[in-house]
């Protein structure tokens, strides 16, 4: 079969029906990335184009276009299957396993690439959040900024966005990212950076006891809190204890971690009774911190599962 | 062509076929019975998965000379084929050339996929650093003031983390930017006088990478004068014809072509349907490009 320059041999999404051997000329495998057509592979004489499908209705993952007038030999898939029937019984399974290993490996590598792209992705997202008044950003914009920092692909960043969407980090509809808590990507970036670069336990990640205390503070503050200056909300020790689960009733010393990190301030009353004390905290900041503490452990577990 | 047949083995239930750590350089094809892959967990055997008739196990042992990561044990009386390198090679030899080429291609794709995460690094270190420093400086810059970062090592560590480019490579590139006067270094401090200069460098490198001309370096004298002219006008909105008058009063050779070009380059932006207003940041970037062309291009010597 002859194919003229600039003509397509097949397009992305077409059903796999043949294998092709390049006899002369040259062809390129193309895929659309970053709004540009990217050449992902070149085929010269002797190259095989396409794959032996292991199931019916498998589709091509890229388009192939002739870059010059080329000559192609076509091997229909049914011929491949009849040749395989003549081979020893283990041989077709050998080919199928090879294909499966390839797919599996590509999938694993893509997961790895998506995880490696996360810091740069957050860096770009934070830049957009901090330099605009909006909370919705197009994937296209993010990709164009990301392109200067990493050699990643649209497919991988899309996967990363869907995975982050699945853990409630932001909303992603395939085109736009809607950030619900603008402080969260910034906090997460800092936390990941502390862990990766300085190998320290991130300051904003708290013990489960402190997280329960913060949740209790939020519950009590929403119910009975008084907003005072500097964005601080005041609650009484009594209100805290009313909102607290039985196992985490307040006493002064359990707030030490949160006081050390200046998340909550405890102002003891003159009496020894905790109920008379006052607690202060920035409600919005604490809500963001709690969300960060919810997301952070999911990165290791859920993110890897969804990617 | 005669092929070397595989070795058929029959084993009773409970028989240990291979132990973790062994590398027999064969793979198995189970014909009947059942095998299981087991790992030791707290001194006990934990089953990972079962192998049913018609399935293969141990391909990495033959193809990549990798030891088995788990024990393989027969859970029922089983019969399997052991395929070694000679058997595989002789079978491959008897298959059509195109099928062999197809298999070879899958193997190459496996090797390529294995190295994919190593290629995530951008090869253009200068572009990465310019983009990173521009973003950092943009967030902390105050107009007409040099942005000072206390410790450039801290910045470079962060850049290395997000870009996967080694710290030392980035450090060498930072000193190259300093030699070109695009940034300033004093002891551990890093100063960035004009973040837009770094953005211009990033854009210049992106254009060069794509084999395209960077517009600020490819406009003629009349067009340059037009940029200078609109830079002095402040935040005003005028129609195209009025802009033409302004340009003409500055340079008699100016035509409507220059007005259209300024709009196309984003130096004049539409605010209402008929009026155009100067984009101060874009104009500032063009003026910096005119002034620092040599430094941006990097041909200082």
Q: Are B151 and B189 in contact (CB under 8 A)?
A: yes
Number of A–B residue contacts, CB under 8 Å: 128
A66/A25 Cα distance (integer angstroms)? 8
pLDDT for B37 equals 94
- Chain A positions touching B113 (Cβ under 8 A) are 102, 105-106, 109
A120 Cβ neighbours under 8 A, 6+ residues apart: A146, A149, A150, A152, B162, B163
Same fold, B125-209 and B216-297: yes
Architecture per CATH, B125-209? Orthogonal Bundle (1.10)
Interval B227-241 mean pLDDT? 91
Cβ of A151 within 8 Å of Cβ of B99? The answer is no
For the domain covering B216-297, report its CATH number.
1.10.10
- Chain A positions touching B151 (Cβ under 8 A) are none
Cβ of B135 within 8 Å of Cβ of A99? The answer is no
Euclidean distance between the first and final Cα of chain B, in Å?
67
This complex has an ipTM of 0.78
How many C-beta neighbours within 10 Å does residue A262 have?
Answer: 9
How many C-beta neighbours within 10 Å does residue B250 have?
Answer: 15
Of A70, A94, A68, the closest CA to residue A20 belongs to: A70
Cβ of B120 within 8 Å of Cβ of A116? The answer is yes
Helix boundaries (H) for chain B:
59-63, 85-93, 97-114, 125-140, 152-163, 167-179, 195-209, 221-231, 240-250, 256-264, 280-291, 293-297
A87/A106 Cα distance (integer angstroms)? 28
CATH of B7-94, one of 3.40.50.1370, 1.10.10.10, 3.90.870.10, 2.60.120.10: 2.60.120.10
The three-state secondary structure class of A192 is helix
- Per-residue confidence band for A200, with pLDDT thresholds at 50, 70 and 90: confident
Tell me: the pLDDT tens digits for A53-90? Answer: 666 677 888 899 999 999 999 989 888 888 888 889 89
Q: Are B56 and A97 in contact (CB under 8 A)?
A: yes
H or E stretch including A226? Answer: strand A226-227
Cβ of B91 within 8 Å of Cβ of A88? The answer is yes
Q: What tokens were used for A295?
A: 């997301």
Q: What tokens were used for A43?
A: 């085929």
Residue A250 above 70 pLDDT? no
Cβ of B6 within 8 Å of Cβ of A83? The answer is no
Cβ of B101 within 8 Å of Cβ of A120? The answer is no
Q: What tokens were used for A116?
A: 């490696």
For residue B98, give the nearest of A19, A124, A150 by CB distance.
A19
Chain A nearest CA to B105, separation (Å):
7
Handedness of CA A256, A261, A266, A267 (dihedral sign): positive
Per-residue exposure over B175-187, b if at least 16 CB sit within 10 Å of its own CB, e if not: ebbbebebbeeee
Lowest mean pLDDT among B108-117, B142-151, B189-198: B108-117
Question: Which one of A47, A90, A111 makes the best mutation probe of the B interface by having the most chain B beta carbons within 10 Å?
Answer: A90
> Could you give all domains of chain A from N- to C-terminal order, each with its CATH number?
2-86 (2.60.120.10), 108-202 (1.10.10), 208-283 (1.10.10)
Lowest mean pLDDT among A273-287, B75-89, B216-230: A273-287
Cβ of A109 within 8 Å of Cβ of B113? The answer is yes
Round the average pLDDT of chain B to a whole number and report it.
90
Chain A nearest CA to B13, separation (Å):
22
Domain boundaries along the sequence of chain B: 7-94, 125-209, 216-297
- Chain A positions touching B27 (Cβ under 8 A) are 94
Question: Which one of A22, A149, A188 makes the best mutation probe of the B interface by having the most chain B beta carbons within 10 Å?
Answer: A149
pLDDT for B1 equals 60
* Distance of alpha carbon A305 from the chain centroid: 10
B133/B156 Cα distance (integer angstroms)? 9
Q: Is A229 exposed, middle or buried (0-12, 13-18, 19+ CB in 10 A)?
A: exposed
Chain B nearest CA to A1, separation (Å):
16
Tell me: the pLDDT tens digits for B192-210? Answer: 989 999 999 999 999 998 8
- Chain A positions touching B123 (Cβ under 8 A) are 151
User: What percentage of chain B carries pLDDT values higher than 90?
Assistant: 66
User: What percentage of chain B carries pLDDT values higher than 70?
Assistant: 97
Q: Is A26 exposed, middle or buried (0-12, 13-18, 19+ CB in 10 A)?
A: middle
């Amino acid at each position: 079969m002859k194919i003229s320059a600039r003509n397509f041999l097949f397009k992305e999404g077409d059903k796999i029906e043949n294998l092709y051997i390049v006899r002369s000329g040259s062809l390129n495998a193309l895929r659309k990335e970053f709004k540009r057509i990217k050449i992902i592979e070149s085929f010269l004489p002797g190259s095989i184009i396409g794959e032996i499908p292991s199931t019916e209705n498998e589709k091509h993952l890229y388009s192939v276009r002739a870059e010059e007038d080329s000559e192609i030999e076509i091997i229909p898939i049914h011929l491949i299957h009849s040749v395989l029937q003549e081979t020893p019984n283990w041989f077709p399974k050998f080919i199928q396993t090879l294909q499966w290993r390839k797919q599996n490996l590509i999938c694993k590598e893509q997961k790895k690439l998506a995880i490696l792209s996360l810091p740069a992705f957050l860096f770009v997202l934070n830049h957009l959040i901090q330099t605009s008044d909006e909370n919705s950003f197009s994937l296209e914009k993010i990709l164009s900024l990301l392109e200067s920092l990493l050699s990643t692909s649209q497919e991988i960043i899309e996967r990363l966005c869907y995975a982050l969407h699945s853990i409630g980090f932001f909303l992603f509809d395939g085109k736009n990212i809607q950030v619900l808590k603008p402080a969260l990507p910034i906090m997460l970036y800092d936390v990941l950076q502390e862990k990766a670069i300085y190998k320290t336990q991130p300051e904003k990640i708290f013990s489960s006891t402190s997280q329960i205390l913060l949740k209790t503070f939020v519950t009590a503050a929403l119910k009975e809190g008084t907003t005072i200056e500097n964005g601080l909300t005041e609650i009484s020790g009594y209100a805290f204890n009313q909102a607290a689960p039985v196992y985490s009733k307040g006493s002064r010393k359990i707030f030490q971690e949160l006081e050390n990190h200046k998340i909550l301030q405890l102002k003891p009353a003159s009496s020894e009774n905790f109920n008379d004390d006052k607690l202060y905290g920035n409600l919005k900041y604490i809500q963001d911190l709690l969300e960060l503490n919810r997301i952070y452990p999911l990165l290791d577990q859920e993110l890897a599962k969804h990617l | 062509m005669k092929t070397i047949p595989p070795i058929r083995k029959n084993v009773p239930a409970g028989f240990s076929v291979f132990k973790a750590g062994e590398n027999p350089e064969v793979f198995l094809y189970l014909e009947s019975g059942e095998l299981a892959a087991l790992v030791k967990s707290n001194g006990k055997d934990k089953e990972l998965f079962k192998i049913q008739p018609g399935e293969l196990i141990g391909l990495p042992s033959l193809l990549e000379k990798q030891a088995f990561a788990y024990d393989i044990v027969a859970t029922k009386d089983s019969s399997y084929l052991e395929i070694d390198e000679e058997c595989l090679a002789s079978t491959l030899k008897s298959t059509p050339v195109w099928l062999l080429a197809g298999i070879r291609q899958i193997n190459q794709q496996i090797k390529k996929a294995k190295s994919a995460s190593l290629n995530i690094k951008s090869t253009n270190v200068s572009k990465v650093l310019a983009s990173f420093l521009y973003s950092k400086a943009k967030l902390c810059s105050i107009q007409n003031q040099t942005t000072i970062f206390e410790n450039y090592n801290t910045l470079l560590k962060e850049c290395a983390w997000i870009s996967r480019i080694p710290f030392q490579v980035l450090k060498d590139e930072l000193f190259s930017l300093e030699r070109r006067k695009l940034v300033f270094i004093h002891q551990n401090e890093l100063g960035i006088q004009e973040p837009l200069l770094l953005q211009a460098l990033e854009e210049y490198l992106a254009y060069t990478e794509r084999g395209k001309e960077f517009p600020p370096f490819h406009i003629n004298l009349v067009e340059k004068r037009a940029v200078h002219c609109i830079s002095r006008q402040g935040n005003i909105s005028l129609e195209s014809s009025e802009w033409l008058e302004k340009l003409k009063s500055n340079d008699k050779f100016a035509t409507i072509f220059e007005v259209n070009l300024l709009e196309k380059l984003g130096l004049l932006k539409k605010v209402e349907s008929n009026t155009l207003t100067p984009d101060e940041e874009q104009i500032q970037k063009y003026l910096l490009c005119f002034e620092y062309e040599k430094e941006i291009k990097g041909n200082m010597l």
